[in-house]
A = this chain, B = another copy of it.
Amino acid sequence: METTTIESAEVKAAVASLREKAPFVYGLTNYVAANLSANVLLALGAGPAIGSAPGWTGAFPAGAGAVWINGAALMSSVTPEALDEAAATAHRAGTPWVLDPVAIGAGANEYDAILGALLKHKPSIIRGNASEIAALAGGAGGSGVDSTLDSSEVIDIVKDLATRLDAVVAVSGEVDYLCDSAGRATAVRGGDARMPQVTGTGCSLGALSAAFCAVVDPFTAAAAAHAAFAAAGERAGRRASGTGSFAVAFVDELSDL
């Protein structure tokens, strides 16, 4: 499989375009990851707004350059109806949107059903860890928010799901794999073992994938986001002395890309 890195020409162009256009990107996400997600987007030049106050889900997805929806947004006052309205508004307005089905398949059936119902609004990108992607495809899930599968175990599921849903599907792990419905596929290597030890990195990857969607096509957007994370994680790992300083260095490295 082809490999994408931060040095790939299309990634360099996407990063430059994101900084130049500074798009408004709207997100519904959980409050554990919201702060890091916003800072990740700001580090690369995008202008994020997060959350669902009265009137927001019906208005902001139409004006935004892209939208991301993290399922665990349901743990704030974001109702299933608000989540649906945001996805529907984005789809109707032609705004690309990213679905991050965090913790799907971990045992909460009501939650899983709400996320599954969002697929009818045609997300441009779906991202998750191996357990989440497997669960979304109809298989068994993990426990909590951590994956009990390796990303390499679900490559075929990723390809099938991309075709079935006509979307880019990205699975993250030690190696990340990305496919679209036209058969394009790429792998992203790098990062650092401490990345999963910083809460919200996966969620922020969904947010950044959306931000890139505001300036390039979804496949390139997802590849650019994953390559940016891999590069920043690797560089941060070289100068961090623990998981606290790793998180700080990671945002520093994104802002220096």
Contact = CB atoms under 8 A, between A and B. Distances in A.
Interface stretch (A3-11, A163-171, A246-254): A246-254
Given A145-B49, A197-B255, A245 B242 contact: no
Interface in A196-237: 196-200
A52 B78 CA distance: 11
Contacts of A240: 252
A49 B52 CA distance: 22
Nearest to A53: B74
A71 B49 contact: no
Given A54-B111, A244-B249, A252-B245, A43 B197 contact: yes
Nearest to A49: B144
B76 A75 contact: yes
Given A32-B38, A243-B39, A47 B144 contact: yes
State the number of copies, please: 3
A24 interface: yes
Interface in A36-83: 36, 38-39, 42-43, 47-56, 58-60, 63-64, 71-72, 74-78, 80
Interface stretch (A91-99, A100-108, A151-159, A174-182): A100-108
A44 to B, nearest CB: 10
Given A103-B49, A109-B55, A252 B244 contact: yes
B247 A60 contact: no
A29 to B, nearest CB: 9
A80 B54 contact: yes
Contacts of A2: none
Q: Which of A35, A39, A144, A247 has the most CB of B within 10 A?
A: A144
B51 A75 contact: yes
A77 B77 contact: yes
Interface of A: 24, 26, 30-36, 38-39, 42-43, 47-56, 58-60, 63-64, 71-72, 74-78, 80, 103, 106-112, 114, 143-146, 194, 196-200, 240-245, 247-256
